[in-house]
Amino acid sequence: MNNGPVGDCEALIVGAGFSGVYLLHRLREAGFDARLIDAAAEPGGVWYWNCYPGARVDSQVPIYEYSIPELWRDWTWRERYPGWRELRAYFRHVCDRLSLWSHITMGTRVASAHWDESERLWRVTTDAGDMLRARYLLPCLGFAAKAHVPEIAGLESFAGEWHHTAHWPQRGLSMAGRKVAIIGTGASGVQVAQEAAAEAAHVTLLQRTPILALPMRQETLTIAQQEREKLGYPAIFAARLQTSGGFDTGSVDTSALDVDAEARRYLFEKQWQAGGLRFWYANFADLLTSEQANRHAYDFWRDKVRARIADPALHETLAPSEPPHPFGTKRPSLERNYYEIFAQENVALVDLARTPVQRIIAEGIETADGLIECDLIVFATGFDAGRGGLMQIDIRGRNDLRLADTWREQVTAYLGYAVHGFPNLAYLYGPLSPSGFANGPTAAEIQGDWVRDFLVTLRDRGFTRFEAEEDAEREWTEGVAAIGSMTLFPRAMSWYMGDNIPGKPRQLLNYPSVIGFAKISEDVAADGYRGFALA
Ligand code: NA7
């Protein structure tokens, strides 16, 4: 690995996750002087920062990788759902194979980006004190770039160690023999809890809302098996572009209410046994639009899960009779033995709905029920999803307009790429694009190709400036909300809706279909990039 220099360039990409690395490759291929900067020591995006024990992807191989043949032909995975170490190794392989290293600067954080209208370029500074200019600013920060640590009184007085899962020490941290408290039961909380239960002297899991977790059914992969499977990769990668989530398949074309109980159960059981997120993305067509259809899925999930929870007293807390929210309107997570760990003597569950946290003191966490003694607190408390990563950079557009101010009351964007008032800025995998609803590599390829084509068109036609028009932006922003209101997503308090961050405005932050998004983006391009003012 080597690190390229920081300097002026035509296109500055910020972020070395799936979107940024793909866009760098495509822009270099198209002859742009493109550079990529990232604060992490190594490429990988979330797979760099989230190195907590058990961190792994919940989309299966080969869905969670690039479709470029020179990248998959001689790459083999060890597990169906790879962990962060393997994913980081994959990113190194990608940068080697695509010869990207000399165009990447790692270990450098972009601090500010100010638009200079007279020169029509972005003036960018880094935390290392570098200053550079770029015609185009292309943030590829992902939706989980800003970790959320809730304000709990007394945290500063805690005598032990605490970490957010997304800022886990890179040197590693053993939980063996320790008393661990984990706050949060999202995907990260489930993963870290399973590891902690196997290692720690004692684990207390503090749950605010039960996670509706699905069985992962992890598999070890052999080279021979993958070589056979690779014959089918081109078809799988083509199929990814035809589904709303960017997975290998979409929902079945039938309502759960148009079939009898036996047929319903057949599909539920089939996807449950297939494992992974299939019970979510390959379920009945109206799973996420009809409350009644959704309730059938929830009841199936609840009964399956209850059968695995040894202590009946925990049934209502972990898998309530009535759904805490419609199934799948908060991100389900994948689990291996999550429901079994509660039978272990070293594992305790605290239901924060009944026993809220009062404060943290030197010895641990005080709740209404007494002290949870611990020497390690894990905050698995999620992210300021979508907008957080962009808003923490001092981005200023025309007339010194700050992006953080523009988005304070509501996130607005055209096509989930561009913001009125911020010329020559296009972000990928961010708010009002499919982002959190879409498989990362699928969205990265669709969006990366679109931005590459856009910049090529601007270059070919002699344009040096683009800006989203206000009307087009309003229409897109309202359109995402309107589509959202036809679904059950607003029925849950979730990061999809911005609910997890105190004070964050409530709105659906993701466009709920990759295929729908790709189609509209193509139409916009075919229509001369309507909605963008080109100069
Ligand atoms: P998530 O999915 O946002 O989960 C965060 C968890 O932390 C969730 O259970 C929250 O409860 C809980 N939380 C957040 N704030 C608090 C406070 N103040 N007190 C108690 N509990 C709290 O983040 P993850 O890192 O697990 O997953 C992020 C994505 O990464 C995931 O969806 C996948 O796409 C991969 P809540 O449910 O809000 O009541």
How confident is the model over 458-498, as pLDDT tens digits?
A: 999 999 999 999 999 999 999 999 999 999 999 999 999 99
Share above pLDDT 90 across residues of the chain, in percent, rounded to a whole number: 99
Question: Which element (helix H / strand E) includes 395?
Answer: strand 394-396
Q: What is the pLDDT of residues 365-392, one digit of tens each?
A: 999 999 999 999 999 999 999 999 999 9
Give dist(CA 206, CA 188) in Å, integer: 13
Q: Is the pTM of this model over 0.75?
A: yes
Minimal-distance CA residue to ligand 1 atom 33 = 187
Q: How far is the CA of 216 from the centre of ligand 1 (A)?
A: 19
Closest CA to 1 of 101, 108, 146, 107: 101
Q: Is the CB of 184 under 6 A from ligand 1?
A: yes
Within 13 Å and on the Cβ side, how many CA atoms surround 484? 23
Burial class (CB in 10 A: 0-12, 13-18, 19+), 109: middle
> How high is the pLDDT of residue 459?
98
- The closest-lying atom of ligand 1 relative to the alpha carbon of residue 357 is 19
d(CA 485, CA 483) in angstroms, rounded, equals 5
CA dist 303 to 160, 181, 315, 322, 338, Å? 39, 28, 10, 12, 15
Q: How far apart are CA 55 and CA 76, in angstroms?
A: 19
Residue 356: how many CB atoms within 10 A of its CB?
13
Distance of CA 309 to the CA centre of its chain: 29
The continuous run of DSSP H or E covering 292 comes out as helix 291-306
Tell the residue nearest (CA) to atom 12 of ligand 1.
Answer: 184
Q: Evaluate if residue 2 carries a pLDDT over 70.
A: no
Tell me if 187 sits within 8 A of 334, measured CB to CB. Answer: yes
Q: Mutate which of 191, 325, 331 to test ligand 1's pocket (most atoms within 8 Å of Cβ)?
A: 331
Collect contacts of 476-484 with beta carbons under 8 A, ≥24 apart.
Answer: 476/413, 476/414, 476/415, 476/416, 476/432, 476/531, 477/410, 477/411, 477/412, 477/413, 477/432, 480/416, 480/432, 480/507, 480/508, 480/510, 480/511, 481/507, 481/508, 483/508, 483/511, 483/512, 484/508, 484/512
Contact residues for 225 (Cβ-Cβ < 8 A; gap 6+): none
Question: 208 in ligand 1 pocket by Cβ < 6 Å?
Answer: yes
115-153 pLDDT, tens digit per residue, is: 999 999 999 999 999 999 999 999 999 999 999 999 999
The predicted structure's pLDDT at residue 492: 97
Task: Among 164, 165, 208, say which to mutate for ligand 1: greatest number of ligand atoms within 8 Å of CB.
Answer: 208
Take atom 14 of ligand 1 and give the residue whose Cα is closest: 381
* CA 371 centroid distance within chain: 34
Rounded to an integer, the average pLDDT of 180-207 is 98
Buried b (16+ CB within 10 A) or exposed e, 242-255: ebbbbbbbbbbeee
